[in-house]
Chain A
Amino acid sequence: MLARDQVDHVARLARLELTEEEAERMAAELSKVLDHIEKIRELDLAGVPPTSHVVDVVNVLRADEPSPSLSVESALGSAPDVVAGGFGVPSPGASPA
C-alpha cells in the first residue's frame, strides 16, 4: 500500500511534477501493482546471492587511447539552449517554493 504522502515524496525524488489527480491515481495504481509484487516476500531468500548481471563477465579493460569523438557543435546540436559553447540552464541557485 502506497500512501499519498509517499507518492509525493517519491515524485520529488524522481523530479516529476504530478497533478493532484495524477498523484491520487498513482497511489491507487501503484498500490495494486505492489500488492501483486509483495508475493516475492513469501520466498525464503536467506543466503541467496543477488544477481545484477546475468552473464559471467570479468572487468572489461581497454587501452586508454584518444580517438575521434563528437564535435562540440554536433553535441550541442539538439540542445534547447546553448550559451557560450555549453548547455544553457536556469540558475540552480533559486530554491523552489
Chain B
Amino acid sequence: MDDILELTGAQAAAAITRGELDARELFELYRERASRDPLNAFTWVAEAPPASDPAPAPLAGVPIAVKDLYCTEGVPSQAGSRILEGYRPPYTATVVARLAAAGAPLLAKTNQDEFAMGSSTENSAFGPVRNPWDRERVPGGSSGGSAAAVAAGLAPWAIGTDTGGSIRQPAALCGVVGLKPTYGACSRYGMIAFASSLDQAGPLTRDVTDAALLLSHMAGRDPCDSTSIGLREPVTLPSRSDLKGVRLGVPEELTGADSGVQDGVRARFDETLAIAENLGAIVEPCRLPHAPHALSAYYLIAPAEASANLARYDGVRYGLRVDGDDDLLSMYRRTRAAGFGAEVKRRIMLGTYALSSGYYDAYYGAAQKVRTKIAEDFAIAFGTFDFVVTPTSPWTAFELGSKAQDPLAMYLNDFCTVPMPLAGIPAISIPAGLSDGLPVGFQFAGPAFGENALLDAAFALEQALEFDQRPARLHESQLVGAGDAEGTQ
C-alpha cells in the first residue's frame, strides 16, 4: 500500500497502463484516505469510484482533487463561501472536463479561501485547512486544500487557480510543485471568477513532470472563453538534466533587504542558486524597478474586478437568499451581508471604492498604468535573462491565526508572486529545502507561452535538489478514525 502512495501521478498512470496497478483500486485507496482527512483539505469527497472502468486514456484513471471554485456538474461547488453553500452547478468547467476526458476522474473538491481571496485558507466558510508539515500552521492559500492534499498523500495530484499567487504560494508552503501558466493557456469557463484579467488554472503536483503532464491536458483554446488561447506548442514532458548557459536573473527588488524575505528563506534561496550554478546556470542580479509597486497595483485591480464579478451573488439565481423588508434592495443587501465573509467584504469595499466616481483615475487607472510598467520590466529582463528567479513566498508557513487580524500583513505574503500575473507570464514554484523544518519554495518566471522551457529548467533543478516530501505524508495512523478499528478511540 505504502509504495503505491509514493507513486507520482505520472508513475501511477504508467503502472496502470502496464497492467501492474488497478485504476479502481487506486481510486479507492485515495478515496478512503481523503474521506478520513484530518487537515480539512476537502469540501466534498467522491462516494465511489466511477461506475465504469475508464477507457484507455493518457491519465489512465489516476483521480484528481479539484479546487472548490471549479464548477462540477451535480457536485457541490461553493468557492469556499457561505453564499454558495450547497450549490450544485448544472455544468462542468472546461479544464475539469478536459482532465476527465484524458482519464483523470474527480476524486474530491478542495477547501480554499472564500472566492480565492486569501493567502492562508483561513478565509474559508468551511473552516481553515491545516499544513501537513505542522498542523498548527497554515498551508498557504488560496488553493491551500489542493496543496495540503497533495503534500499529505490524500490525492495523487490536484488543480487550483492562481490570481496573485494562489497556486504557487500554497505549493511553496506545503513543499509541492505549483504552476501558474501563461494567461490564456487554459480556459476559465466554469471557474467561479475572482479577477478575470488575472485568474488562471494550473496544477499542484508532487513533481515537475506531473505538472507538465496535467498542463498538457488542461491547456487549449475553448470557444466558451474568448480570452483563452491555448499554448503555441504542445507541452513536452521535461527531460533536461543541466542548466548549461541558462541565464537566471535575481531581482534585487524582490529578494533584497527591503523585500521582507525571512533570513531562513533567503539562505535556502541562495543555496539553491549555488546548486543552479553547479548545473551550469549563469546567475546575475537583474532589475524589476516597478516590482515593489506590484502589490499596490494588484490590490486595486483584483478587488476592482472582484467587486464587479461578485455582484452576481444577489440571492436571485442560486445560492443563499435572506429576506429583506419586502423589497428587492434590502434583500440584496441582507443576502450579501449574511453570505460573504469578512475578507470578501473588505475586497468588495476596496474595489468598489477604487472604481467609484472621483477615485477611478487616482486608483484603478493608475494601477493599470503600473501594470504596463511591470510588464515592460519583465520584457526588458527577458531580453537578457531566460528566467527571473525569486523565493516564492517571503515566509515559510505561519501559525494559524497569526496574521488573520492584519489584512495588510496577510497581503504582503503575495509580494513575490503578484508581479507575474500582472504581466500575464508563467511561473512555477518548486520545493527547495526546509527552513526550521518547513518547506521553502523557489520560483522561476519566464516569458509568455514559454512553458516548455520553464518546465525543463525547473525539472533540471528539481533533480539536483532531491527534496524529500515524505515527512508530510500522513500515515494511516494519522487519519481520522484510525483508532476505531482497535476500539482505542
Contact = CB atoms under 8 A, between A and B. Distances in A.
Interface string A1-33: 010001101110111111000100010011011
Contact of A39 (B293, B316, B321, B448): B293
Nearest to B350: A30
Contact of A57 (B184, B295, B326, B366): B184
A90 B324 contact: yes
A96 interface: yes
Nearest to A93: B327
Interface in B267-318: 290, 293, 295-297, 299-300, 307, 311, 314-318
Contacts of B369: 45, 48-51
A51 B296 contact: no
A91 B324 CA distance: 11
A66 interface: no
A70 B372 contact: no
Interface residues of B, number: 73
B184 A30 contact: no
Contacts of B337: 16-18
Nearest to A35: B408
B316 A87 contact: yes
Contacts of B311: 15
Given A49-B369, A89-B328, A79 B316 contact: yes
Nearest to B88: A78
Contacts, number: 176
A80 interface: yes
A38 to B, nearest CB: 8
Contact of A49 (B315, B340, B372): B372
> In which size bucket is the chain A interface?
35 or more
A51 B372 contact: yes
Given A13-B356, A17-B337, A55 B373 contact: no
Contacts of A70: 90-91
Interface in A43-72: 43, 45, 48-55, 57, 60, 62, 70
B345 A16 contact: yes
Contacts of B424: 54-55
Given A32-B407, A43-B373, A79-B317, A15 B333 contact: yes
Nearest to A46: B369
B331 A90 contact: yes
Interface in B337-377: 337, 340, 342, 345-346, 348-350, 352-353, 356, 362-363, 365-373, 375
A84 interface: no
B315 to A, nearest CB: 6
Nearest to B449: A55
Contact of B332 (A15, A32, A81, A97): A15
Contact of A55 (B229, B300, B340): B229
Contacts of B329: 15, 92, 95-96
For B323, B334, B352, the residue with the greatest tally of chain A CB atoms inside 10 Å of its CB is B352
Contact of A90 (B326, B349, B448): B326
Contacts of A97: 325
A30 B353 contact: yes
Given A18-B337, A26-B345, A52-B368, A10 B293 contact: no
A11 to B, nearest CB: 7
Contacts of B319: 78, 80
A10 B366 contact: no
Interface in B407-422: 407-408, 411, 422
B371 A90 contact: no
Contacts of B323: 90
Interface in B86-134: 87-91
A39 B296 contact: yes
A43 B88 CA distance: 46
Contacts of A2: 353
A97 to B, nearest CB: 7
7 contacts: A22-B345, A49-B372, A55-B183, A70-B91, A74-B90, A90-B323, A94-B325
Leading 8 A-B pairs by shortest Cβ distance: A54-B424, A50-B368, A78-B318, A80-B321, A94-B327, A17-B333, A17-B337, A92-B328
Given A33-B411, A45-B369, A55-B229, 7 more contacts: A18-B337, A38-B296, A75-B317, A79-B316, A90-B324, A91-B326, A96-B325
